[in-house]
Amino acid sequence: MSGLALRFSNPETHTRLRLVADELGTSMNRLVEDMIERELDALSMSLEAELQETIERLRKLRHVDIERSVQQWAAAEGQADPIVARANVEEEDPFGIAAAFGR
């Protein structure tokens, strides 16, 4: 059996845990372990469902879909950048900023 020491950042949590364990007639350790097991079961089922959904989506992909997706991505990457930067410097440069950048 492996042990785990718990430290609560909120002292009220420890107090409430003790009260609930006493009320249920169990140890604080047993109560915490039961609660953790239930939470892990719920989280595991949720993760499993998400992974199963991802697997199903991947299975539905056909080679043609993947090739089309890659071609669309390549075409989009090959286009000119829609944002073009250009300097807009007034004729006067009282603070010498444009000059500092070689303009």
Domain map of the chain by residue range?
11-77
Report yes or no: 32 and 6 within 8 Å, Cβ to Cβ: yes
**Chain centroid to CA 73: how far?**
24
What pLDDT shows up at residue 88?
A: 67
pLDDT score for 1: 60
- List the chain pLDDT tens, one digit each, 103 residues: 677 788 889 999 999 999 999 999 999 999 999 999 999 999 999 999 999 999 998 888 777 788 888 888 888 887 777 777 776 656 777 788 877 887 5
Backbone conformation region of residue 53, classed left if phi is above 0, alpha if psi is from -120 to 50, else beta: alpha
pLDDT at 90: 62
Of 47, 49, 51, nearest to 59 by C-alpha is 51
Show Cβ contacts of residue 6 under 8 Å, excluding neighbours closer than 6 positions: 32
